[in-house]
Structure 1
Amino acid sequence: MQSLKSRIGIQNTATKEIYTFETNATVSLFYKICTIVFFGCGNNFMFDDLKLPRKVVEICRIVSKVLGLLVVMLVCSTSTAFFTQHNLDMMHKAKLWLYGPPLVTLNVLYFNTVLRKNQIKKLSYTIAVVLRGMFNDEELEKEMVRKTWRFSFAFAFLVIGLFSSTGIVTGYVAGTTNETFTIMIPAWPDLNDHSHAASIARIAHYCIWLMLLIRVGCLYFVILAVTIGLQFQFSIMCNYFHSLNIIFAGEDSHEEKENNYEEAFKFGITMHYLTLWCIDQTQVTFGVAFSSQFITNLVTLISLMVQFMYMDRTFGNCLTVFLYAGAVLTSTGIFMWNAGDVTFEATKLHTAMFNSGWHNCRGRASVRVRKMLTIAIRQAQDRVTIKGFGILELSYESYISMVKLAYSVFSVLSQK
């Protein structure tokens, strides 16, 4: 690991690791996202210090700890509700499953990601600084930045829309009927408790739920930035290998051109090695996040279908279920589609290597280059995937399979 650190420009001190870099569009993107994440959860995932006033940093960290404690209390409340809430009808049992297990998995996701904060810093540094410093395509980099912000804003809009619409519809139902303002089933109060203390507790649960959505949602910004960054890294490498043909168009002697091509191809292999290292680190660092996302959405979809089957199909109830299902399906798709794009873009690399101009080499240089090219292409042909649970490949196909699995499980349960 020490050799890799020195290669990518990380220096150890007695207190922390120091990253040396020059600013580029990708670094600016990570900095802005990590600043948003810091305000959302009080943790700095940037490989550099955030340029924020010290007082602001201290306040954010204190507030984050307090909110973190409240979120843990919320998770405990929704989990113990399985043992304290009795005599629930099928619709409310579905709501119990809709929030209980998913809140646990999301909280596990949060703590696992925070524990791997230093690994995330090394990973993002390698993508934003080392790989971009080796070779970059400014047009592709601009498209990467635009796509990252597009998906980040879309995800934020879905989360805020889900929170707001759920509160508005539930509040309207509670105001026009005899039902209580119950978003999730907590350990206390009881569903039929109309006291002021119970009403305050339900509103508190609702507000703390927003805190959890913000904390976890901010971490997904980092995951999006990394996966989209890796997707475009493979596109940039394809452009790099295609550009090697230019070497043989110069005015140097053919022998010098062959030497330059050989060195440039070796440089590309090093770039590919570091990219594959990033893929492995993404799997290690965010594997729990991808697995948690799958479990959360599977349980959520099944619970929503059960709830829809047993509830009174009023406009407000249907709107809540459809909005929740739409937000879940879309947010899951955002991550699984981008992870699938990494696999798709990686399949183009071996073709770019083959079209890099190796056929211009002659004699001994041709022999050396062909051997090197064969090994490099064989390595590039290995399927590059990001997986959940270490076995489930995240892609367009697995996204459809997840939806079908949820419906299949619901069909089996509904027959009992």
Structure 2
Amino acid sequence: MELPKIYGTNKTVHLFRKICKFIYLSCATNFGFEETDLPNYFIRIYTPISKVLEVIVIIFIASEWGSFYTQKNLTEKQLSDLYLFAFSHVVLYMIYASAMHHRDRIRELIVTLTVTLKKVCNDDATEKAMIKKTYRSLTATVFFCSGSLFSYGIDAGVKALTSNATFTTIIPIWPDVEDRQFIAGFARIIHYIIWWIFAIRVISIYLIILCVTICLGHQFTNLYKYFIKLNDIFEEEGSQEDKERSYENAVKVGVKMHSITLWCAKQTQVTCGVAYSGQVIITVSVLVLLMIQMMHTERTLTNVASIAMLGSSVLVGSAVFMLNAGDITTEASRLPTAMFQSGWHNCRGQSSVRARKLLTLAMTEAQNPVVIKGLGVIQLSYESYVSMVKSSYSVFSVIY
């Protein structure tokens, strides 16, 4: 897909520019519809470095699974961490790899949401609310996800300084957790740094998926306000015929925008479906493992802090995904009402007949629920989020 020329113009475009730049700095992949504004020499140097880091991250994940065969001196908590991270890191990498695979589709989806649709209708209040909500969601995601890595690093550091333990954050294939050689300690620090590299790449993908999800929900809000405001056409000066003609043309534009928005919803499900499904799997499995870990772990401040922070990151990550996806369904369900209240009753004669036929078809289409699903069957919403958290505890209670 050829990248178009730079668009100069709305707050949503500026928001996606920032997010896409962060993603490029994380994994040297441009999800934006514009060329990056980074220096050419930086791009030439960073691109091959990023590919090397990609290979290192894959080796890092494989090393976690290899540790099941090489690490025999693990404590109860270390064994629990091994199961937790080995499984969740594979799922997270699948989310990351899926987004990379669909980057051209995501790029097309972004340009449609931020430029094509907003050229026709872009309510300022809705856009401001969308930007504010996006920053809140992204801040919460980054804070809790990075906080969990910090807490595990602090926990390992405190244990290494106050006891005879080694600095062990994740369990790799080598070195052994009891190996106290200098090279082994250095390798553990390198593993922790690689863990951060992996986490930053995944977080950057989470950010673009969240931005697309939130922007799509607010696009349905834009459409709602667009149809509601069509009634104002008949309050303007001019002949009745001119008003009816303007109204019919505006309705046709609104129906076309609705059709494009529904296409965006389908593309969001296709391109981000693995992320939605993966988040459901991670939430249930990690919460269950963390509750089991809490049962068997010594309740020191650092142990509890690391478990609580990871649990919070999973809960917050799932919440921003599922609640924002649920908002898409809620906002889309308001459209039939807006279409009905758009002012068709002001038309007369054949204009009234044409308007009623067009709006009837449009309302019939708008009454079909717009649903974002995880695992192909779970509708993402506030209700499903609460049910998922409850089911995690139910699984834990069955085991114990």
Q: Give the alignment partner of residue 380 of structure 1, picking from 366, 375, 382.
A: 366
1:193 aligns with 2:193: no
| Shift, 1:394, TM fit | 1.2
Question: Where in structure 2 are the equivalents of 1:9-408 lying within 5 Å?
Answer: 16=2, 18=4, 21-86=7-72, 88-408=74-394
Would you say how many aligned residue pairs link Structure 1 and Structure 2? 400
**In structure 1, the residue corresponding to 2:35 is in which secondary structure?**
coil
**In structure 1, the residue corresponding to 2:305 is in which secondary structure?**
helix
Deviations 1:212-262 (A, max 9, x none): 110010111111111111111111111100110111112222222222211
Matches of 2:200 and 2:91, distance apart in 1: 15
Matches of 1:321 and 1:51, distance apart in 2: 40
Deviations 1:42-95 (A, max 9, x none): 111001101111011122212211221111111001122223333645433321
Q: Letter of the 2:300 partner, please give it.
A: T
Matches of 1:156 and 1:26, distance apart in 2: 20
Q: Letter of the 1:289 partner, please give it.
A: A
Matches of 1:406 and 1:65, distance apart in 2: 37
TM-score (norm 1): 0.92
Q: Letter of the 2:290 partner, please give it.
A: L
Matches of 1:145 and 1:381, distance apart in 2: 28
| 8 Å contact from structure 2 (residues 329, 371) kept in 1 | yes
| 8 Å contact from structure 2 (residues 233, 243) kept in 1 | yes
Deviations 1:122-174 (A, max 9, x none): 00000000000011112221222222122212222222222212211221012
| Shift, 1:290, TM fit | 1.2
| Shift, 1:18, TM fit | 3.7
**In structure 2, the residue corresponding to 1:192 is in which secondary structure?**
coil
Matches of 1:140 and 1:346, distance apart in 2: 15
| Shift, 1:355, TM fit | 0.7
| 8 Å contact from structure 2 (residues 60, 194) kept in 1 | yes
Q: Letter of the 2:48 partner, please give it.
A: I
Matches of 1:85 and 1:19, distance apart in 2: 54
Matches of 1:192 and 1:26, distance apart in 2: 51
Matches of 1:273 and 1:231, distance apart in 2: 15
**In structure 2, the residue corresponding to 1:207 is in which secondary structure?**
helix
- Which 10-residue stretch deviates more, 289-298 or 218-227? 289-298
Matches of 2:51 and 2:194, distance apart in 1: 13
| 8 Å contact from structure 1 (residues 298, 403) kept in 2 | yes
| Shift, 1:342, TM fit | 1.3
Q: Letter of the 1:369 partner, please give it.
A: A
| Shift, 1:198, TM fit | 2.2
**In structure 1, the residue corresponding to 2:173 is in which secondary structure?**
coil
Gap change, CA 1:386 and 1:19, over 3 Å in 2? farther
Q: Which residue of 2 aligns with 1:9?
A: none
| Shift, 1:370, TM fit | 1.5
Deviations 1:104-123 (A, max 9, x none): 11111111111111111100
Matches of 2:133 and 2:46, distance apart in 1: 29
| 8 Å contact from structure 2 (residues 144, 310) kept in 1 | no
In structure 2, stretches of 5+ residues that fail to align are: none
| 8 Å contact from structure 1 (residues 97, 299) kept in 2 | no
Matches of 1:401 and 1:259, distance apart in 2: 50
| 8 Å contact from structure 1 (residues 234, 349) kept in 2 | yes
| Shift, 1:20, TM fit | 7.3
| 8 Å contact from structure 2 (residues 73, 177) kept in 1 | no
Identity of aligned residues (%): 45
| 8 Å contact from structure 2 (residues 73, 178) kept in 1 | no
| 8 Å contact from structure 2 (residues 140, 316) kept in 1 | no
Q: Which residue of 2 aligns with 1:7?
A: none
Matches of 1:19 and 1:394, distance apart in 2: 36
Q: Letter of the 1:401 partner, please give it.
A: S
Matches of 2:342 and 2:286, distance apart in 1: 48
- Which 10-residue stretch deviates more, 198-207 or 96-105? 198-207
| 8 Å contact from structure 1 (residues 347, 381) kept in 2 | yes
TM-score (norm 2): 0.96
**In structure 1, the residue corresponding to 2:175 is in which secondary structure?**
coil
Deviations 1:183-215 (A, max 9, x none): 122222222222222222222211111001100
| 8 Å contact from structure 1 (residues 22, 129) kept in 2 | no
| Shift, 1:19, TM fit | 5.8
